[in-house]
Amino acid sequence: MKLDSMYQEIILDHYRNPHGRGLRDPFEAEVHHVNPTCGDEVTVRVHLTGGEGRDAKVEDLSYDALGCSISQAATSVAHDLLVGHTVGEAFETLEAYQAMVQSRGKVEPDEDVLDDAVAFAGVAAYPARVKCALLGWLAFKDAVAQAQASQAQASAQTGGTA
């Protein structure tokens, strides 16, 4: 049954016991994303350290979310998979994840890259739920972009002292 392939136990576990939930300091950017069709919302903070651009490290991804099991679990998995990696690595994971959930089932997920996130492959069969699966992930991408843009601006203003 498709329903079971969508609501895999791993997703329900993350939903009931979300990892890394709660908004924490320090952070360089905070974004608020909403799914306008259902009203689900997520606030994501990122804390980046060392390096620039894709070399920076995702030190923390903290979040607060209101939403369905898919959006909540997806954000919890994002926390597990993205924290501790460089921005470059995190974006590669994000792209693989996005390709999988938007594929209508045509992309075979790479478990080495996606780990627990392969559980969301079942969502691809339900186009109406793809936004739920992406809400927290795309908020993370936006938060990183904002954090790095404001860092670049700040360093330009201070003459770029490293």
Binding site for another protein (CB under 8 A): 1-3, 6-7, 12, 37-41, 66-70, 126, 129, 132
Nearby residues of 109 by Cβ (< 8 Å), 6 or more positions away: 96, 100, 117, 118, 121
Q: How far is the CB of 121 from another protein (least distance, A)?
A: 16
Q: How far is the CB of 143 from another protein (least distance, A)?
A: 22
When the beta carbons of 87 and 101 are compared against another protein, the nearer one is 101
When the beta carbons of 71 and 93 are compared against another protein, the nearer one is 71
Q: How far is the CB of 28 from another protein (least distance, A)?
A: 28
CA distances from 27 to 30, 34, 61, 110 (A): 7, 20, 9, 31
When the beta carbons of 28 and 40 are compared against another protein, the nearer one is 40
Nearby residues of 157 by Cβ (< 8 Å), 6 or more positions away: none
